[in-house]
Structure 1
């Protein structure tokens, strides 16, 4: 993980740190201790672990190297709350994070307070390396924003196994949405540049900015909706092997996929489990919790395809940032986006692009360079952000990535097609 050259001042970094840590506390505030321990699968982590790991990040990469007399509340936390950073030392098994009942929630909150106080003291001190520290704090805040999103989606997955179908957020239904026609906008293509332009924060995998060729294409002005997905289901889309990649169809058969994750049929109506508890499926909201395999099959059924990440970036990079995002509209569930403007938030949109290095990519040296580069295999890029993505996290070049079988994130799709 890395960032572009610093543009954030120490004061701005401190303000971002304060706001980011406050948002994490607010996300965890409604939860009881038992909620904080849920780990429903290896891909998900308990809320308590997210709170501690994001704290460990600031301690490991800022406080320990730069504060000579810094002392951790417990040196064993370095093993418990490391994730993938091999160069930072040994790590507790990922699939057993939910078994770590101690330290308890109070101890984790005390750990967060200890690190926050120490980092505040460091940032308020007069130091020659204050700008370098600000750079690392900004990086740590964006890392924590990623975990805020994971905290929400991991929690939703865990709560979904409870037959009582508990709510995380107020159980009032989301706003009723209206059917919106599907239109496509044409883009000329040609030799274009994509990737981060070097201004402001970005992860290493968003660069270098480089040229690529696009043939003329068309892209939909809104994501695929639940209404359209139900039509796909009713037309036998899940059982028609002709629509599916062979590997995807094998996964769908093995996992008995017949509808998006969290859906069920009740009294001739489709329902879904959400952060607001059980909700009727909103027909004209974007479909969510579908895998790459499902999205790719739907696109074939609909006579289109998934866009490449370059097509997606070029089509929407001039659209103003805003939408149904965490900390913006604030609804932790997809809503009907406005045509032509509904790109940021609601659902991440699968692309047909592999998560691969851009030409000239080199991972940074040290443990911080491990975060993205070593995951550049067998995963697909998604673009656009979701209702669980913090607004400060997004920019036109932002790439998130998941394996093609995964569904628990806020994943949807937008159609593209070759220009006629």
Structure 2
């Protein structure tokens, strides 16, 4: 006999409702600077329109929680089930991802009406009904899922705006960024070899791909004290880095030739000067700031050119725990700072925030990993093929969403996310 899940305390239930409202409001605040025309844009198959992100995150709560949990709940619109399903094939055939931008209807106004209806139903559920640990877990998963889409919303609209010849800004930076003449000097930090614990211990929320916690034997290694800068990457370009096949993996060299790659995604050269497109518009390239929007091939080629390598995800995690500080999240350059771009290191490690960091590790399951048998089990496990792991979060990752054990993953050729490089090496 299966026993019912224990109920959470009224204090935890109230906190859950408050967090739900805060995160949902944050998503809409990120959409505020955009027009209805902006929200319709889909600039490539990997990206999605802003209005699709707004709807899909609501679909998640409706599909996995409200339809099964709130008595008498009626779905907002049956047709939404197909067009706002992302990749949950066990729930039916999703609408074609590359064609999301062709859906002019429902309108932006109708999608915001959908969000309000879902929010009202979720408020009734969390405010009036009893919440057990299973429901709490689903809500927390849904909120972390929404925070992932907050980041995707920004990277996707950045790519869309970058295609416009006028290079319009999403929004002016409102953070406390400072222009810095130089980045902090790069230092090498040695980490002793041995058997280390890897993965989430399950004490707080984590995605299923962050566990189970397991032991990993690592030789001694060293890791850079900060991210690679624009100036350092510019030296790679000036030295003909994009023209030297021996620096590149075979698939990477094929990517260089197929795309005629000469520089990172958002770099622009005008009259001999380098600029970069940011969420705040086109700005002069700042040499001291971290290089970003690099794909795995570019990150690996740079590391080879520099005479080093990328860290494994296990090395990265061990080093991150060793270097963490009590105020790490408060000082990190994350979404709440509204800087909209990575900033130069003042001497901090930058292990959380600024840019996601490519590792040399393939995205594979940890020993003992099993995806759940229900539809939610499609969340991560089925993507454990042909992708590479990134760690650390970026300047547009929410501060209560990132943690050291977090495993992000993308295909090696993808660069529209805020992805950068930290060097590593062996201790001989």
TM-score by length of 2: 0.94
Query: Quick one: distance in 1 between partners of 2:15 and 2:208?
Result: 21
Answer whether contact 2:173 2:338 (CA < 8 A) is retained.
Answer: no
Q: Closer, same or farther in 2 for the Cα pair 1:124/1:163, shift >3 Å?
A: same
* 2:72 alignment counterpart: 69
* 1:359 alignment counterpart: 367
Count of residue pairs brought into register by the alignment: 414
* 1:141 alignment counterpart: 143
3-state SS of the aligned residue for 2:352? coil
1:87 aligns with 2:96: no
What are the Cα deviations for residues 216-264 of structure 1, in whole angstroms up to 9, with x where unaligned?
0000000000000000000011110111101101111110111000111
Query: Quick one: distance in 1 between partners of 2:230 and 2:109?
Result: 41
Answer whether contact 1:222 1:342 (CA < 8 A) is retained.
Answer: yes
Shifted more, 344-353 versus 168-177: the winner is: 168-177
What are the Cα deviations for residues 335-388 of structure 1, in whole angstroms up to 9, with x where unaligned?
012334321111000000000000000001111000110000000000011001
Query: Quick one: distance in 2 between partners of 1:304 and 1:413?
Result: 11
Query: Quick one: distance in 2 between partners of 1:303 and 1:84?
Result: 40
In the TM superposition, what is the alpha-carbon distance from 1:87 to its structure 2 partner?
Answer: 1.5
In the TM superposition, what is the alpha-carbon distance from 1:131 to its structure 2 partner?
Answer: 3.2
Unaligned 5+ segments in structure 1 are none
Residue number among 218, 243, 247 corresponding to 1:214 in the alignment:
218
Query: Quick one: distance in 2 between partners of 1:341 and 1:15?
Result: 32
3-state SS of the aligned residue for 2:396? coil
Answer whether contact 1:195 1:206 (CA < 8 A) is retained.
Answer: yes
1:380 aligns with 2:388: yes
Query: Quick one: distance in 2 between partners of 1:13 and 1:316?
Result: 29
| Correspondences of 1:19-418 after superposition (within 5 Å) | 19-127=22-130, 129-170=131-172, 175-179=178-182, 180-318=184-322, 319-320=324-325, 321-322=328-329, 323-327=332-336, 329-418=337-426
Q: Closer, same or farther in 2 for the Cα pair 1:266/1:7, shift >3 Å?
A: farther
Answer whether contact 1:6 1:135 (CA < 8 A) is retained.
Answer: no
Q: Closer, same or farther in 2 for the Cα pair 1:360/1:171, shift >3 Å?
A: closer
In the TM superposition, what is the alpha-carbon distance from 1:7 to its structure 2 partner?
Answer: 8.8
Q: Closer, same or farther in 2 for the Cα pair 1:106/1:358, shift >3 Å?
A: same
Q: Closer, same or farther in 2 for the Cα pair 1:101/1:6, shift >3 Å?
A: farther
Answer whether contact 1:6 1:201 (CA < 8 A) is retained.
Answer: no
Query: Quick one: distance in 1 between partners of 2:151 and 2:137?
Result: 22
Query: Quick one: distance in 2 between partners of 1:100 and 1:132?
Result: 35
Q: Closer, same or farther in 2 for the Cα pair 1:172/1:72, shift >3 Å?
A: closer
* 1:12 alignment counterpart: 15
Answer whether contact 2:173 2:339 (CA < 8 A) is retained.
Answer: no
In the TM superposition, what is the alpha-carbon distance from 1:16 to its structure 2 partner?
Answer: 1.4
Query: Quick one: distance in 2 between partners of 1:178 and 1:130?
Result: 53
Unaligned 5+ segments in structure 2 are 1-5
Shifted more, 197-206 versus 314-323: the winner is: 314-323
In the TM superposition, what is the alpha-carbon distance from 1:82 to its structure 2 partner?
Answer: 0.4
In the TM superposition, what is the alpha-carbon distance from 1:26 to its structure 2 partner?
Answer: 0.4
Answer whether contact 1:177 1:283 (CA < 8 A) is retained.
Answer: no
In the TM superposition, what is the alpha-carbon distance from 1:126 to its structure 2 partner?
Answer: 3.3
What are the Cα deviations for residues 192-214 of structure 1, in whole angstroms up to 9, with x where unaligned?
11100111100000000001111
Query: Quick one: distance in 2 between partners of 1:312 and 1:342?
Result: 12
3-state SS of the aligned residue for 1:211? strand
Query: Quick one: distance in 2 between partners of 1:271 and 1:345?
Result: 22
Query: Quick one: distance in 2 between partners of 1:247 and 1:6?
Result: 52
Q: Closer, same or farther in 2 for the Cα pair 1:11/1:172, shift >3 Å?
A: closer
Query: Quick one: distance in 2 between partners of 1:352 and 1:143?
Result: 25
Q: Closer, same or farther in 2 for the Cα pair 1:171/1:144, shift >3 Å?
A: closer
Query: Quick one: distance in 2 between partners of 1:181 and 1:63?
Result: 52
